[in-house]
Amino acid sequence: MPKVNLFNQAGEIISEVALNDAIFGITPNQQVIYDVVNAQLAALRQGTHKVKNRSEVRGGGKKPWRQKGTGRARQGSIRSPQWRGGGVVFGPTPRSYAVKVNKKVKQLALKSALSHHVLNNQLILLDGIKLEQPKTKLFVEVINNLKLEGKTLVLGTNFEDNVVLASNNIPNAEVRLASQVSVYEILKFKNVVLLQDAVNYFEEVLG
């Protein structure tokens, strides 16, 4: 059962917390992580690309010249794909890139992503975060107190407006709700800071 130090926002260790081994202590399944991240990235694609085929381009209703006797190749329309201004063959059309992933596979990928950060000592527990004013420097102080370097993701179930506003202008830090975070987002950040309520959320949902 993995044990992680619990910090306050001043960077002081309050206690040691034993995490659920079935969620934060599994061996990360690389294939499942790949499948889920691939599906989540595919879902981000709009799929609104569109070209016109020969039935949609303007013109081309009349046969340009008679079938035989001109010495030229036979043509049925000036909007055939080989003509300038003609339709596009097998071009992109609106479609959905959604990939179906089973619920249990998604849950295993989320467990694997969290366990990956625990194994690499990149998961930090925080008892809570409160800021008196929505100022960026106050949020930066919390990050510095925890001695975090690199991209940092802070997860919780509820954040005060001051915390959200203070984190908006920091390029290497992001605040997200635990219920809305994806596996891709967790793996994109070097450090993951879990508030206590986020730990309870994951243990309830994934346990």
Dig out the tokens for 166 from the structure.
Answer: 């203070």
Q: What is the pLDDT of residues 56-104, one digit of tens each?
A: 999 988 999 999 999 999 999 999 999 999 999 999 999 999 999 999 9
In this predicted structure, what is the pLDDT of residue 5? 87
In this predicted structure, what is the pLDDT of residue 190? 92
For the entire predicted model, the pTM comes to 0.80
Report domain extents, the chain: 3-45+98-206, 47-96
In this predicted structure, what is the pLDDT of residue 191? 92
In this predicted structure, what is the pLDDT of residue 115? 94
Three-state secondary structure string covering the chain: CCEEEEECCCCCEEEEEECCHHHHCCCCCHHHHHHHHHHHHHHCCCCCCCCCCCCCCCCCCCCCCCCCCCCCCCCCCCCCCCCCCCCCCCCCCCCCCCCCCCHHHHHHHHHHHHHHHHHCCCEEEECCCCCCCCCHHHHHHHHHHCCCCCCEEEEECCCCHHHHHHHCCCCCEEEEECCCCCHHHHHHCCEEEEEHHHHHHHHHHHC
* CATH architecture of residue range(s) 3-45+98-206: 3-Layer(aba) Sandwich (3.40)
In this predicted structure, what is the pLDDT of residue 16? 86
Low-confidence ranges of the chain (pLDDT < 70): none
Query: Beta strand 3-7 with 13-18: parallel, antiparallel or unpaired?
Result: antiparallel
In this predicted structure, what is the pLDDT of residue 74? 95
